[in-house]
């Protein structure tokens, strides 16, 4: 009996994803554990492994397809001895899956027998995608219909390149000038087409531009950080920290760890310093949860890493109890996986506090946005030679500015100030990081 391969939920929050790339084709034999596809979730691009063995009978969802809902059949797998054509024919039709995923209103809008008076208020915007007067039904994928609606394109004027003449995304994107009625409808109701609304604003500018569609990771970043700034009352506290002692200690430790192949970065020591500071001031290792305050018993530090798909924060768990060499090794491994888009959900989901370091880019100081549901993030700038008072006399020292952003609903200013003081003391007296 053929086995349907369905879109997996690769993270607890995943509802849909982009089938970024197929690594198999019809006729290929797979075994459990083989990588079949790369799927872009709301967090990262992840590999999708086969759980059964057999032969790929059919690919139901083309690579590059966006908005594929979890549970959608994306391929069919034939067992040994099964006829591939029969296994492929056993797959649910794409129209059936699309109708099952759509709301009743949307399903009614595409029904040949539906009456105009039953259409929702926004049906006017869909006139260009209605069936032809001749009664012939226009077969198009939901994504193609959505793009056509946003761009005001008349689907009846497009020849589909998909199976049985089905109109797919590529057909709509390659279509000509949008129909006037659709365009005027889109402009009259910008709230129904947010993507094209943004394009219209930019098209009024004189400078040439190239529009790039947001990937899922960037969409989630935009949504979460917008919510963070709108809903979290941020308070910012900054301290200047002398780095000379920390840099000297790092040099000594690297000399002793060279034989083990470990090379500590300044960021590794700062991760440890933040974790130890949270141990000293546990009132800052919390999160605001509606009518409850969660107090964490472990310091899991999320570290901001710039990846090709967008910012992501792999986690050093229980950083307060780990040695510097272990933190360094884990951080290098996680950062590499983040840049390659290979992080697993457990490696970036969670964390009790965050660290963002832009010092390597020469940034002197900045205020970071809290990563909910966490209640604080530490923003670290570049270390630089500055005039500094040392033992009552003016001298020159390597100084770094660090700014803590705190959720004022969960953390009082005095507690935040104590955390910044503890961090400063640990960095300026770094032997506390190795004992």
Q: Would you name the residues annotated as active-site residues?
A: 408
- Determine the Cα–Cα distance for residues 172 and 162; give it in Å rounded to an integer: 12
Is the CB of residue 50 less than 8 Å from the CB of residue 36? yes
Cβ-based neighbours of 115, under 8 Å, separated by 6 or more: none
345-376 as b/e: b if 16+ CB within 10 A: bebbbebbbbbbbbbeeeeebeebbbbebbbb
Phi, psi of 306 (to 5 degrees): -85, 115
Is the CB of residue 114 less than 8 Å from the CB of residue 108? yes
Q: Which two tokens stand for residue 121?
A: 């208020």
- Determine the Cα–Cα distance for residues 337 and 292; give it in Å rounded to an integer: 35
- Determine the Cα–Cα distance for residues 133 and 276; give it in Å rounded to an integer: 72
Give 405's DSSP letter: E
Give 340's DSSP letter: T
């Amino acid at each position: 009996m053929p086995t349907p391969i369905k879109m997996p939920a690769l993270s607890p929050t995943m509802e849909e994803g982009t089938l970024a790339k197929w690594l198999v084709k019809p006729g290929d034999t797979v075994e459990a554990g083989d990588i079949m596809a790369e799927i872009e979730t709301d967090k990262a691009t992840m590999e999708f492994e086969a759980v059964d063995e057999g032969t790929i009978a059919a690919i139901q969802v083309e690579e590059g397809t966006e908005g594929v809902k979890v549970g959608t059949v994306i391929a069919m797998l034939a067992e040994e001895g099964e006829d591939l054509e029969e296994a492929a024919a056993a797959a649910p039709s794409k129209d059936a899956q699309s109708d099952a995923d759509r709301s009743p209103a949307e399903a009614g809008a595409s029904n040949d027998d539906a009456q105009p008076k039953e259409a929702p208020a926004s049906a006017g915007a869909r006139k260009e995608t209605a069936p032809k007067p001749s009664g012939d039904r226009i077969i198009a994928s939901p994504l193609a219909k959505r793009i056509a609606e946003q761009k005001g394109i008349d689907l009846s004027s497009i020849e589909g390149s998909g199976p049985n003449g089905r109109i797919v995304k590529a057909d709509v994107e390659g279509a000509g000038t949008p129909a006037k009625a659709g365009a005027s409808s889109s402009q009259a109701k910008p709230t129904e087409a947010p993507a094209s609304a943004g394009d219209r604003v930019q098209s009024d500018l004189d400078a040439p531009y190239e529009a790039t569609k947001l990937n899922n990771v960037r969409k989630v970043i935009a949504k979460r950080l917008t919510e963070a700034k709108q809903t979290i009352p941020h308070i910012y506290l900054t301290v200047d920290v002398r780095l000379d002692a920390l840099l000297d200690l790092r040099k000594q430790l690297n000399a002793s760890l060279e034989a083990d192949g470990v090379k500590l970065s300044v960021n590794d020591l700062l991760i440890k310093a933040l974790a130890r500071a949270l141990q000293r001031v546990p009132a800052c290792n919390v999160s605001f949860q509606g009518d409850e305050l969660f107090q964490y018993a472990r310091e899991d530090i999320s570290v901001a890493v710039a990846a090709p798909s967008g910012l992501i924060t792999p986690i050093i768990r229980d950083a307060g109890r780990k040695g510097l060499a272990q933190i360094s090794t884990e951080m290098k491994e996680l950062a590499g996986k983040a840049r390659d888009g290979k992080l697993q959900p457990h490696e970036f989901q969670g964390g009790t506090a965050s660290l963002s370091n832009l010092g390597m880019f020469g940034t002197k100081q900045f205020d970071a946005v809290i990563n909910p549901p966490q209640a604080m993030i530490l923003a670290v700038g570049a270390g630089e030679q500055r005039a500094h008072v040392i033992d009552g006399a003016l001298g020159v020292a390597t100084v770094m500015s660090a700014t803590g952003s705190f959720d004022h609903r969960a953390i009082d200013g005095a507690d935040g100030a104590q955390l910044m003081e503890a961090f400063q003391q640990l960095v300026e007296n770094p032997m506390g990081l190795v004992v």
